[in-house]
Amino acid sequence: MQRHWITSAAVLAITMSGAAWADGAALYAQKTCLACHGKDARTPLMPAYPKIAGQNAAYLERQMLDIKSGARANGNSAAMQGVMGIVTEADIKELAGYISTLAP
């Protein structure tokens, strides 16, 4: 019985991860991330914009939260201020998770 429960939990986790990635992909397009970072998150609009595909999720989340709060106001963060106004903290977590799964 325990083996069946573990298998069910693993299948559920994999299914949930796939759903999360789909949500992250939709948010990436809806919140206009692709406009500056590129459809694949590794071909930015301008050379000064970072290639973010495959970056650590916790790092991405921290950077977005710091830009949103104003704690980070250096480099190209000014370009991100407007975008960060239209994302929630839940969106940020979802986006960071999705972007971290992309091939660098």
Q: pLDDT per residue over 27-73, tens digit each?
A: 999 999 999 999 999 999 999 999 999 999 999 999 999 999 999 99
Question: For the chain, which residues make up each domain, given as ranges?
Answer: 2-101
For domain 2-101, give the fold.
Cytochrome Bc1 Complex; Chain D, domain 2 (1.10.760)
- Four-CA torsion 89, 32, 34, 88, nearest 10 degrees: 0
Confidence of residue 15 (pLDDT cuts 50, 70, 90): very low
What six digits make up the tokens of 84?
């960060």
pLDDT above 70: residue 4? no
Q: pLDDT per residue over 88-98, tens digit each?
A: 999 999 999 99
What's this model's pTM, rounded to 2 decimal places? 0.78
What six digits make up the tokens of 65?
């939260």
